[in-house]
């Protein structure tokens, strides 16, 4: 996957020198998103731009393509982006347009939104060819079929007339790649091309990009937040933070002897499959020069003495899908799911998109009505009881959603968000007592007292997830369902939130149902792991057992697709 670059060190394909980009914020105020970034993209090699959100990595890529919105962005005229002796900064729009697609092309994170849903993929593909290559309709179609074949779309002659909605996410991304390489560009910019995809699809796409790069002798600028992916494909790595380059070098140098504290932090924050420290290291440990704390291994797994808090039997959930005017079809999202959640333990629930793992969580909360099955909580079936009888149990099962930007009401202050559950359940004698309790909880999740008076939009993603966690804690639940609760967060923030969840479990003895597609995170936090596929349980076992000796072929396939990072490739 990483061919040794045998090419003599000649002129690099692209030289970025002192790139500075500002955004207008309205009025005179500006925000400097990229602060003097310089790096080279050599010919026939893969360069990875790595960083968390706000690092300026995507802005840098868009600047190379000249795709920054002209009305509110300013590229410093002194910055230079040299491509074949030409400076791309300040190039007229027309010249830039000719360059895009032909010499430099790009694939985006969300294939679903990058393809136009009302045209067939064939139309969109031939459009590129006819525009840039001037091919005839028939020739363009022939070439389009070849391209679809090359990116691994089965039956390309038939699929060329499919609409994007008739393809899976992975196939859509393949079509995007086909469009990007249609004109044999010298540089392919891939902006988080696999972030929205399942891990098995991610693996295929990464292999495809590496293969195409080798065959067409092009360079790839790969933008990602995921160092494990970088370790698998990159020759050179550029680490960015807050608009600046923290460190750059060959992949070997970056992974084996990182010089910068931030690079070290990024490498350590992410839960790895082979380590399980008591606490995950966080960025501050490194930036403060302290180094990671509490790195001794944490023991996981169930003990025979663990009592069962929630016993789920034959859980099923079907949706009625409307077909045509009157027709209906039953779609089974979840079928025959049985498991036991033990007190004070974490059950990890993994699966790819569409496996029904989120539906299981929502059904247990009664946010969806279960079609069949039982969930025994203290011996009582919470799925069949009346809404009124469920109220006291509702307090004891709480859920943390995936997206902390969507799960907090934007019109409520944090104080209102946190006091509301107390008022609804009549916890605390009066408003004063409730307020005091909320201040206590804010301290517990590591937020300052002033947060009480602020609105959610004034907080970062990680802080918002802390607010959501605090909201669950107000009700003193026994069970906490974490539905992809850390998936939308940056690596460093993810580590902090995972540490917080771990601390809370240690302190209050909470039981977690931890739902995630991220196998490394699940491995880190779980005592027991359940794998789901197409609405059914594939395998359920102790965390260490399942990762070491997966029994089912599906589990084996899933685990082998996890990006192993540098170590596996070295």
Partner 1 sequence: MATPGATLPRAADGTREIPHTVSPGLWTLAWRRLRADRVGMVSLVIVFAFVVMMILSGLGLVAKDWSREAGVNYAPPSFVGADVEAGTPAAPAAPESAVPAGEYKSSIVDPLADVIAELKGAKPAAAPAPSAPSEGKSVDPLADVMADIRASKGSGAAAPAPAEARAATLPFGGDKWGRDVIAKTIKGSETSIFVGIASALVATALGTLFGAVAGYYGRWVDDAFNWFYSVFNAIPYLLLVLAVAAVLQQKGMLTIILILGLTGWTGVFRLIRAEYLKHKSREYVQAADAIGASNARRMFVHIFPNVSHVVLVQLSILVVGFIKAEVILSFLGFGVPVDVVSWGSMLNEAQNELILGKWWQLVAATVAMATLVTAFSLFTDALRDALDPKLKGLKGH
Residues that bind partner 1 (CB under 8 A): 71, 362, 365, 367, 391, 394-395, 398-399, 401-403, 406-411, 413, 420-421, 424-425, 432, 435-436, 439, 449-450, 452-455, 458, 468, 471, 474-475
E strand or H helix at 528, and its extent?
A: strand 528-533
Residue 418 φ/ψ, nearest 5 degrees:
-85, -25
- Least Å from the CB of residue 409 to partner 1: 4
User: Is the Cβ of residue 474 or residue 502 nearer to partner 1 in the bound state?
Assistant: 474
Closer CB to partner 1, residue 39 or residue 401? 401
Task: Identify the three-state secondary structure at position 378.
Answer: coil
- Tell me if 115 sits within 8 A of 121, measured CB to CB: yes
Do the Cβ atoms of 485 and 219 come closer than 8 Å?
no
CB 458 → partner 1: shortest distance, Å?
A: 6
Phi and psi dihedrals of 565, rounded to 5?
A: 75, -160
The values of phi and psi at residue 502, to 5°, are -65, -45
Tell me how far, at minimum, the Cβ of 401 lies from partner 1, in Å: 4
Pick the closer one to partner 1 by CB: 60 or 451: 451
- C-beta of 129 vs 510, nearer to partner 1: 510
Q: Nearest approach, Cβ of 439 to partner 1 (angstroms)?
A: 7
Q: What is the DSSP string of 488-511?
A: TS-HHHHHHHHHHHHHHHHHH--E
Q: Within the chain, how many helices (H) and strands (E) appear?
A: 22, 21
Which CB, 68 or 176, lies closer to partner 1? 68
In whole angstroms, how close is the CB of 318 to partner 1 at the nearest point? 16
Q: Between 265 and 408, name the residue whose CB sits nearer to partner 1.
A: 408
Smallest gap from Cβ 403 to partner 1, in A, equals: 6
Smallest separation (angstroms) from partner 1 to the CB of 503:
22
Pairwise CA distance, residues 103 & 144, whole Å: 18
- Partner residues linked to 48 by β-bridges: 222, 237
- Minimum distance, C-beta of residue 246 to partner 1, in the bound complex (Å): 32
Backbone angles phi, psi at 437, to 5 degrees: -60, -40
Residue 100 is given by DSSP the state B
Judged by CB, which is closer to partner 1: 417, or 530? 417
Nearest CA among 247, 219, 249 for reference residue 3: 219
Nearer to partner 1, 161 or 449 (CB): 449
Compute CA distances 18 → 36, 59, 120, 139, 433, whole Å: 4, 14, 42, 43, 56
């Amino acid at each position: 996957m990483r061919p040794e670059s045998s090419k003599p060190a000649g002129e690099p394909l692209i030289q970025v020198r002192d790139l500075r980009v500002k955004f207008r914020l309205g009025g005179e105020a500006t925000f400097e998103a990229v602060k003097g970034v310089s790096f080279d993209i050599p010919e026939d090699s893969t360069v990875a731009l790595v960083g968390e959100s706000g690092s300026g990595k995507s802005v840098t890529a868009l600047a190379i393509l000249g795709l920054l919105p002209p009305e509110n962005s300013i590229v410093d005229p002194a910055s230079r982006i040299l491509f074949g002796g030409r400076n791309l900064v300040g190039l007229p729009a027309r010249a830039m347009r000719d360059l895009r697609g032909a010499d430099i092309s790009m694939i985006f994170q969300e294939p679903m939104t990058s393809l136009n849903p009302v045209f067939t993929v064939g139309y969109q593909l031939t459009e590129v060819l006819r525009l840039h290559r001037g091919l005839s309709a028939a020739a363009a179609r022939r070439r389009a079929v070849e391209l679809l074949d090359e990116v691994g779309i089965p039956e390309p002659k038939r699929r060329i007339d499919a609409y994007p909605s008739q393809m899976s996410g992975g196939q859509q991304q393949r079509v995007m790649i086909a469009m990007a390489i249609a004109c044999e560009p010298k540089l392919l910019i891939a902006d988080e091309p696999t972030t929205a995809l399942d891990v098995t699809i991610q693996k295929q796409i990464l292999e495809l990009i590496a293969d195409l790069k080798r065959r067409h002798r092009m360079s790839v600028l790969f933008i990602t937040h995921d160092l494990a992916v970088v370790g698998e494909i990159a020759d050179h790595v550029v680490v960015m933070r807050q608009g600046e380059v923290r460190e750059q070098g060959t992949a070997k140098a970056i992974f084996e002897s990182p010089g910068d504290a931030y690079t070290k932090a990024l490498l350590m924050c992410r839960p790895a499959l082979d380590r399980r420290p008591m606490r995950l290291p966080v960025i501050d440990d490194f930036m403060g020069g302290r180094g990671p704390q509490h790195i001794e291994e944490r023991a996981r797994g169930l003990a025979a003495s663990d009592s069962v808090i929630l016993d789920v039997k034959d859980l099923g959930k079907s949706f009625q899908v409307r077909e045509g005017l009157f027709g209906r079809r039953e779609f089974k999202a979840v079928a025959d799911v049985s498991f036991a959640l033990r007190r004070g333990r974490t059950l990890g629930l993994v699966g790819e998109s569409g496996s029904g793992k989120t539906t299981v969580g929502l059904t247990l909360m009664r946010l969806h009505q279960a079609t069949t099955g039982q969930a025994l909580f203290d011996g009582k079936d919470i799925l069949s009881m009346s809404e009124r009888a469920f109220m006291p149990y509702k307090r004891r099962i709480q859920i943390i959603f995936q997206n902390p930007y969507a799960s907090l009401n934007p019109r409520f202050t944090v104080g209102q968000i946190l006091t509301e559950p107390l008022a609804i359940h009549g916890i605390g004698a009066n408003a004063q007592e409730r307020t005091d309790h909320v201040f206590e909880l804010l301290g517990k999740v590591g937020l300052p007292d002033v947060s009480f008076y602020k609105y959610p939009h004034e907080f970062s993603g990680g802080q918002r997830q802390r607010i959501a966690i605090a909201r669950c804690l107000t009700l003193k639940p026994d069970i906490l369902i974490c539905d992809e609760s850390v998936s939308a967060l940056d690596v460093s923030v993810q580590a902090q939130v995972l540490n917080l969840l771990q601390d809370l479990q240690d302190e209050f003895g909470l039981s977690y149902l931890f739902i995630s597609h991220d196998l490394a995170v699940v491995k880190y936090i779980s005592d027991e792991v359940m794998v789901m596929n197409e609405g059914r349980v594939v395998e359920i076992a102790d965390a260490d057992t399942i990762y070491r000796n997966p029994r089912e072929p599906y589990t084996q396939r899933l685990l082998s697709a996890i990006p192993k990072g540098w170590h596996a490739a070295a």
